[in-house]
A and B are shown apart, each in its own frame.
Chain A
Amino acid sequence: MLCVHTFDLGNSAPLPEDPFRAFLRETSTGGDRLLALFAEEPSPGRFLLHAVAGGSAPGRFVHACMEVSPRSFRTFTDVCPGAHWFEREIYDLFGLAPEGHPEFNPLRFHEGWPKKFFPLRSADAPAPDPRRGYRFLLVRGEGIHEVAVGPVHAGIIEPGHFRFSCAGETIQNLEIRLGYQHKGIESLFPGDPGMGKILLSESISGDTAVGHSTACARLLEAVTGKPADPSAERWRAAALEIERISNHCGDLGGLSTDIGYLFGAAHFGRLRGAALNLLLKITGNRFGRGLNRIGGIGPRVPGIAPEDLTAELGLLRAEVENAGTTLLDAPSVVARMQGTGRLLPHTAKTLQFVGMVARASGRDVDARRDFPSPACVESPPAKVLLDTGDVMARARVRVMEMRASFDWLPGVLAGATPSGATASEVVFPAAGRRLVVSVEEGWRGEIVHAAVVDGEGRITRYKVVDPSFRNWPGLSFAVRKNVISDFPVCNKSFNLSYSGSDL
């Protein structure tokens, strides 16, 4: 399978620091991109850093690991800027400080937390140094004022704190402080690879239940040796595209609301509901929960025949096309979105952003092509790529991606059987300590799940990378030198998950 890969950890010794640094440098210059960087404590007091990269050819995964001291390691952000949030996360979870990190602040933990508590560091490890406090970047100068927004917002949305340093209306710097949603998801995964883990993965980020649970299910299938049959994979791929359509519709409606464009707000809000209702028909849940099982799809999935679903998608498509054209052609909408919140291709490439945000800024990454799932191997949905990087580009990418999904869905559904039987083929898992990585292109971007599995087939460390985690820093870059009244529309054009990032 090209979207899941198993590395044998038993035979590969950890690298020294310099080759590991070279490996990470490669990811920011070469064809392979960084997928995940995370720490692990295989035995009390012994810490390993794992880096997973890939993507230069379909299904290509590479891995490197390095042993670090229980206190700190030299930062890799200087050679691989895309690693900067990963390193802050490693500090928060394990207490391993990245020395020389350019923005070394806690990512998830707040003043109320115990100073010496690092949730994934074992009690037997040497006592850590007390946690350092959070320091906002102080912008000084004539007429600079600060605006603080959140963590409690005016709408019913997730919590996050935004600190703007402005000169008049112009944003000089935006500092994003998250972590209010931290719920210790990664610490709940270790143990036997059972069905409960799929339920857990559905709640990593509520709007990406299909994406996360599919990535998790494939990973657990690789661990337990029970692959899903081709028809089940087709239903997974179809549900994933419908999830993408529903969220893109919701975002276009949200963008319209933020710019006061009533037509778009009303119609895309309704179309999001229509797409969610299709997920309801397939899985029995509007957000696609209950779709996945280990080795296939749920017993009552699909609740609709493939040809009926194709017909309903045709109806939805006509309405989405109509609303999308009207929205993107309205002069007042174009005037509002064009040139607003520009994320430069250079920034997107350097910081290794992923998903549709990256594709709106000229970075051609798509896990459906680079790590194709069985349903995408022959022909993934058509490539969508723009390079202006503004709010308009992110809106257009959404419309174009929906079009590509609508084009692609009938073909996939044509090969799906009405009821998804689970596969009978059992592949006995390889013995020994191993690392299993699973990648899927959720609607926001690539979702990476990685698990370290011991000789008995039990998960000892589970790592989730939501695309939001990769793209949050991009928002700060996009709003710089924009006016502060444009922040909400920039934020909505990224529409990142707090829950998926805070884990």
Chain B
Amino acid sequence: MDRYIKGIVFMMAAAHMALFVLLGPLLVGVVRKTKAFLSCRQGAPVFQPYLDLRKLFRRGIVRSTTASWVFDLSAPVVLGASLVLAAATPLWSRDVPLPMHFILFLYLMALPRFFQTLAGLDTGSAFGGLGSSREVAVSAMAEPALILSFCGLAYLGGADTVSGMVAGVPPGRVLWRPEVILLAGTLFLLLLAENARIPVDDPATHLELTMIHEAMVLDHAGVDLAMIQLASGVRLAIFSALVSGTVFPEALSLPTFLAIPAAVVKVVLSGALIGAAEAGMARMKISRIASYLLIATVLAAIALAVRHAG
């Protein structure tokens, strides 16, 4: 009997992660399509990221001669860590296969970045080094905002696991609850910063000198690049699930046959929102990223204060 239960739990966990793997590239596709639509272009099909991944998975790997085992390990670690994070993120239900304390969650988010920056330095290219140094600077500046907003969510949701705190956000009209709006806003600002979107980074640029995230992965190819791109999609989906879960906690309590379509709708909507945000402004100077992330930190602090006072 026990064995069957274990089997079912395993299947559920696999299905949960598989949904993230499926929705990640879709989310990227929706963002790109929205940007194309807003600039009066046709754009690539929404499902293009899947085709790109298929293409990359079939390709061989070209590797810098200076690269070591750290470089080889980086892509699997990045994808693996993202999948573990996905297992802890509520997408369609408050029950997740791997309930995780939010501090552990935050540091698991830092693990793939650690490996990716090392891999960027490992190839010996000037661009990799530039990208790694920028990535570390941005993530260090984003950390206070990230921790404060997770603390705020934990306070609000009355739980210390990621799934528990998002599902525990009191339902009701969001517009009447300033702390929810502030927290969702902070998380959205962090989503843009942590996923290399405009205004912090430009995922579409071809200019190596301006890249942050892309400069680090310039020397990855084939299967490695596919894993990194898939992980970026999953990561974007995780952030979207956190933001949309905070704004619509009710969607996590729906019956399963409704909850999964609702999750897909949430992902598509957040993709459109990210695309619209990206299309509406230019990228900022690198020196201004600090003030951008400071704003996110202040918003999170205000949310905490409002929650405490209320």
Contact = CB atoms under 8 A, between A and B. Distances in A.
A484 B209 contact: yes
Contact of B209 (A261, A262, A332, A488): A488
A266 B283 CA distance: 16
Contacts of A262: 35, 38-39, 278-279
A265 B39 contact: yes
Contacts of A488: 207, 209-210
Given A154-B208, A260-B198, A146 B281 contact: no
A148 interface: yes
A151 to B, nearest CB: 14
Interface string A323-344: 0000000101101100010000
Contacts of B281: 261, 330, 332
Given A262-B278, A330-B282, A483-B287, A145 B126 contact: yes
Contact of B288 (A145, A147, A335): A335
A483 B202 CA distance: 17
Contacts of A146: 126
Interface residues of B, number: 31
A interface, size bucket: 20 to 34
Interface string B38-62: 1111000000000000000000000
Interface in A137-172: 145-149, 154-155, 168-169
A249 to B, nearest CB: 15
B130 A259 contact: no
B206 A155 contact: yes
A424 interface: no
A485 interface: yes
Contacts of B206: 154-155
Interface string A252-265: 00001011111101
Contacts of A189: none
A486 interface: yes
A94 interface: no
Interface in A234-268: 256, 258-263, 265-267
Interface string B118-136: 0000000011011001100
- Chain B CB within 10 A, most for which of A148, A155, A169: A169
Contact of B210 (A168, A258, A261, A263): A258
Nearest to B204: A260
A330 B199 CA distance: 14
B285 A486 contact: yes
Contact of B41 (A256, A260, A266): A266
A33 B67 CA distance: 54
A149 B126 CA distance: 9
A262 B274 CA distance: 14
Contacts of B202: 260
Interface string B65-107: 0000000000000000000000000000000000000000000
B209 A260 contact: no
Given A260-B198, A266-B41, A330-B281, A149 B286 contact: no
A449 to B, nearest CB: 34
Nearest to A266: B39
Contacts of A486: 210, 285-286
Contacts of A258: 205, 207, 210
B279 A335 contact: no
B39 A483 contact: no
A487 interface: yes
A58 B206 CA distance: 45
Contact of A336 (B38, B134, B278, B282): B282
Interface string B263-290: 0000000000000001101111111100
B235 to A, nearest CB: 20
B220 to A, nearest CB: 16
Contacts of A267: 39-40
A149 B218 CA distance: 14
B283 A336 contact: yes
Contacts of B127: 147
B285 A335 contact: yes
Contacts of B40: 266-267
Given A260-B198, A263-B39, A266-B41, A149 B208 contact: yes
B128 to A, nearest CB: 11
A93 B281 CA distance: 48
Contact of A483 (B35, B38, B285): B285
Contact of B282 (A148, A154, A332): A332
Contacts of B35: 262
Interface in A474-497: 483-489
A212 to B, nearest CB: 29
Interface string A60-71: 000000000000
Given A262-B38, A262-B278, A147 B209 contact: yes
Contacts of A169: 134, 286
B39 A260 contact: no
Contacts of A483: 285-287
A134 B287 CA distance: 35
B199 A332 contact: yes
Contacts of B130: 147, 484
A256 B282 contact: yes
B163 to A, nearest CB: 34
- Chain A CB within 10 A, most for which of B134, B282, B284: B282
The 6 closest A-B pairs by CB, nearest first: A266-B39, A260-B283, A261-B282, A332-B281, A260-B202, A332-B282
25 contacts: A146-B126, A147-B126, A147-B130, A154-B208, A155-B206, A168-B133, A258-B205, A260-B202, A262-B35, A262-B279, A263-B39, A265-B39, A266-B41, A332-B282, A332-B283, A335-B288, A336-B285, A483-B285, A484-B209, A485-B134, A485-B209, A485-B210, A485-B285, A485-B286, A488-B209
Given A260-B198, A488-B209, 4 more contacts: A258-B207, A258-B210, A260-B199, A261-B281
